[in-house]
Amino acid sequence: MTFECTLNTSGVSPEKSAYAFIQSYRDTSDVKYYTKHEKRIENFFKKKLEQSISQSRIPQSLSKSFFINFKNDGIYFSSNSKRALRYEFGANDVSPKRFIEPAFIATANEVSQIMITDAIGLYNQYSRFV
């Protein structure tokens, strides 16, 4: 007895999937891509920094000395305040407060989440419309 059957496959072909993955990676691996999230990232960092400053019981005005720069080779968190660095790392009679580090780590995790979410979204977009 013989059987005849037809195998039907559906979904994204390996070629289309590889193309979508590469395109998604190219887009999300470029720092310029994240300038569209600049305000969101900066606001998140400021919020976390203010929380950390409040918990460390140091002058709230220090949060105004911090800013974020998006450059070709990365996202830079900067401060124009030597006083902020004195509180963070300690100096003479001031013990280290470590208020910048927690804000920076939380923001880095938030940027990672944005990267993952956008990469998945772009992969889905590229794999459908190739």
pLDDT in tens, 12-61: 888 899 999 999 999 998 888 888 999 999 999 999 999 999 998 888 88
Alpha-carbon distance of 115 to 22, in angstroms, equals 14
Q: Is 80 exceeded by the pLDDT of residue 125?
A: yes
The highest-confidence range among 2-11, 50-59, 82-91, by mean pLDDT, is 50-59
Res. 126: pLDDT tops 70: yes
pLDDT, position 19: 93
Neighbour-count burial of 33, counting CB atoms closer than 10 A to its CB (0-12 exposed, 13-18 middle, 19+ buried): middle
Q: Which residues make beta-bridge pairs with 67?
A: 78
Where is 71: in which H helix or E strand? strand 66-71
Residue 130 has pLDDT above 70, yes or no: no
Q: Which residues contact 74 (CB under 8 A, 6 or more apart)?
A: 31
pLDDT at 42: 92
The conformational region for residue 13 under phi > 0 = left, psi -120 to 50 = alpha, else beta, is beta
Residue 109, pLDDT score:
96
